């Protein structure tokens, strides 16, 4: 019995030790880097990358030299966050990560920042606010990143920014649209994406310009959907359009036909199906199958997922002709050289069309790193100041921030204009031919940049 208890105690001690070690303190930075590289290698097999990429990733691993905390840095570590798995919108998050990685690779190829190699550590926030907190904490306290960039979901961004603010780490948000992100007034937080209010207003102004009077919105039952719908209803009312109905739907709905048949009882001038993901395609198909929209009597407004032309046409077939949608980013007709280069490089490397989230992520990453270069240091206050004064041309156009600590948001302007890129490119695009690629589809609004007629009816 004695031997047995001693043996047992030893075993228990071992198990406990293993437990403790596994929950132990931060793995050394080398370990982290290895896993980042592993991820890239997995990328390689999936996307069938060129041989060169493989070698490059190996090189990065060899070149990095990192010592214990805090590093007298020979690498600049920046953090990225976004949804890479459910229930987040992993399609968008994956693109954003890819774009950021591409940006970092390009910068490294061009010599790095302040003579140092840049490294991106990307955290999967899964679209869950609590994950946002955890991932941001980890990036800042474990990986010791000097800046943060990315995120797709507004609800998650709202928790992430609290952590970034707590530690004073400069953050350039790429995609979250909630007004609250910049309305917070936090000095560390910057945003490239439009706010919801601004984004919705482009669509509303378009609807008013075309002259539709009865509108039915079928909107996804999420924060994105609700905020948008509320914005539209208010703005349309202000413009005198009051015959507006909003119906909320579970984005995972397979069959919208019954509700569409119901709407068909009194067909509106415009049917808006603002559902992201697979729901977008389903609604377009089903509305067209029952002859509701797009038709001569009823136009169809899709969610911005329609911008992914290959996926869109694969999933909706000819039904997509005459569908229009709001596009955030630069349409091909307004591309600058950087945009063209980016799109080509992205498609080559990842075999998928880059959407607006990836353009924003790309620019956000570049912006953060350029600011570090401008500041001459990774010290947060200096980087923040550099960001406030930054002027650069990204794939989205000319980027700068209007309202900063030197020029605070004045009375008449909305709070969310703080650290907000004031002219995000938001346009209305319409597919005028079946199978039309995004680049060929005309920009129909705002009129100043339109390349085609205001609205082409079936």
List the interface residues with other proteins, window 15-34 (CB under 8 A).
15-16, 19-20, 22-26
Contact 322, 271 (CB under 8 A): no
Restricting to residues 210-229, name those near other proteins by CB under 8 A. 218, 221-223, 226-227
Show Cβ contacts of residue 21 under 8 Å, excluding neighbours closer than 6 positions: none
Q: Which stretch binds other proteins (CB under 8 A): 56-64, 99-107, 313-321, 332-340?
A: 313-321
Give the pair of three-digit tokens for residue 293. Answer: 């929209």
- DSSP summary character for residue 265: T
What CA–CA distance (Å, rounded) separates 202 from 446? 8
Give the residue from 273, 353, 414 showing the smallest Cα distance to 99.
353
Binding mask 130-169 for other proteins (x = CB under 8 A): x--xx--xx--xx-----------xx--xx------x---
* Residue from 201, 315, 423, 451 in contact with other proteins (CB under 8 A): 315
Nearer to other proteins, 321 or 370 (CB): 321
* Backbone torsions φ then ψ of 420, nearest 5 degrees: -115, 135
- Residue 110, CB half-sphere, CA atoms under 13 Å: how many? 12
Minimum CB separation of residue 283 from other proteins in Å reads 11
Give yes or no for residue 115 binding other proteins (CB under 8 A). no
Give yes or no for residue 35 binding other proteins (CB under 8 A). yes
Nearer to other proteins, 56 or 226 (CB): 226
Minimum CB separation of residue 249 from other proteins in Å reads 5
Nearer to other proteins, 325 or 455 (CB): 325
* Residue from 71, 111, 168, 291 in contact with other proteins (CB under 8 A): 291
Nearer to other proteins, 148 or 330 (CB): 148
Give yes or no for residue 276 binding other proteins (CB under 8 A). no
Minimum CB separation of residue 199 from other proteins in Å reads 17
Torsional class of 226: left (φ above 0), alpha (ψ -120 to 50), beta (otherwise) = alpha
Q: How many residues bind other proteins (CB under 8 A)?
A: 81
Please name the residue ranges forming H helices in 168-303: 179-183, 196-210, 223-238, 257-264, 278-289
Give yes or no for residue 94 binding other proteins (CB under 8 A). yes
Nearer to other proteins, 44 or 290 (CB): 290
* Residue from 33, 36, 198, 206 in contact with other proteins (CB under 8 A): 36
**Beta bridge partner(s), residue 219:** 248, 274
Q: Which stretch binds other proteins (CB under 8 A): 309-317, 355-363, 379-387, 439-447?
A: 309-317
Give the pair of three-digit tokens for residue 222. Answer: 């999420």
Minimum CB separation of residue 73 from other proteins in Å reads 20
Measured at the CA of 322, the angle between CA 320 and CA 326, to 5 degrees, comes to: 85
Give yes or no for residue 255 binding other proteins (CB under 8 A). yes
What CA–CA distance (Å, rounded) separates 32 from 154? 28
| DSSP3 helix / strand / coil % (the chain, rounded to 5) | 50, 15, 35
Restricting to residues 59-88, name those near other proteins by CB under 8 A. 84-87
What CA–CA distance (Å, rounded) separates 349 from 46? 11
Nearer to other proteins, 221 or 402 (CB): 221
Give me the residue label for tokens 């070149």. 63
């Amino acid at each position: 019995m004695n031997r047995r208890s001693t043996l047992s105690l030893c075993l228990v001690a071992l198990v406990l030790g293993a437990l403790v070690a596994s929950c132990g303190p931060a793995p050394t930075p080398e370990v982290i880097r290895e896993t980042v590289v592993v991820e890239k290698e997995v990328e390689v097999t999936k996307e069938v990358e060129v041989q060169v990429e493989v070698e490059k990733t190996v090189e990065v691993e060899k070149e990095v030299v990192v010592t214990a905390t805090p590093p007298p840095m020979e690498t600049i570590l920046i953090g990225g966050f976004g949804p890479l798995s459910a229930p987040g919108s992993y399609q968008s998050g994956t693109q954003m990560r890819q774009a950021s990685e591409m940006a970092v690779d390009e910068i490294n190829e061009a010599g790095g920042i302040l003579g140092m190699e840049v490294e991106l550590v990307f955290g999967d926030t899964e679209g869950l606010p609590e994950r946002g907190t955890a991932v941001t904490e980890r990036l800042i306290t474990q990986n010791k990143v000097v800046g943060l960039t990315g995120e797709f979901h507004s609800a998650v961004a709202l928790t992430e920014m609290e952590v970034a603010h707590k530690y004073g780490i400069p953050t350039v948000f790429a995609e979250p649209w909630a007004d609250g992100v910049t309305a917070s007034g936090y000095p560390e937080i910057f945003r490239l994406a439009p706010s919801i209010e601004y984004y919705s207003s482009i669509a509303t102004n378009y609807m008013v310009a075309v002259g539709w009077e009865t509108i039915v919105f079928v909107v996804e039952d999420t924060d994105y959907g609700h905020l948008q719908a509320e914005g539209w209803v208010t703005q349309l009312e202000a413009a005198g359009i009051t015959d507006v109905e909003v119906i909320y739907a579970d984005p995972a709905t397979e069959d919208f036909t019954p509700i569409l048949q119901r709407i068909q009882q009194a067909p509106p001038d415009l049917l808006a199906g603002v559902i992201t993901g697979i729901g977008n395609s389903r609604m377009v198909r089903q509305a067209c199958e029952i002859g509701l929209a797009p038709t001569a009597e009823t136009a169809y407004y899709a969610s911005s997922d329609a911008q992914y032309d290959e996926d869109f046409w694969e999933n909706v077939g000819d039904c997509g002709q005459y569908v229009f949608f709001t596009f955030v980013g630069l349409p091909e007709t307004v591309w600058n050289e950087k945009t063209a280069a980016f799109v080509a490089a992205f498609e080559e490397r990842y075999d998928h069309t880059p959407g607006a989230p990836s353009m924003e992520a790309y620019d956000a990453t570049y912006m953060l790193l350029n600011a570090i270069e401008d500041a001459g240091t990774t010290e947060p206050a200096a980087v923040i100041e550099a960001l406030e004064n930054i002027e650069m041309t990204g794939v989205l156009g000319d980027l700068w921030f209007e309202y900063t600590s030197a020029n605070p948001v004045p009375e008449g302007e909305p709070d969310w204009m703080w650290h907000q890129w004031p002219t995000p490119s938001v346009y209305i695009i319409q597919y005028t031919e079946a199978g039309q690629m995004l680049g060929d589809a005309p920009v129909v609004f705002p009129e100043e940049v339109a390349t085609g007629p205001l609205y082409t009816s079936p």
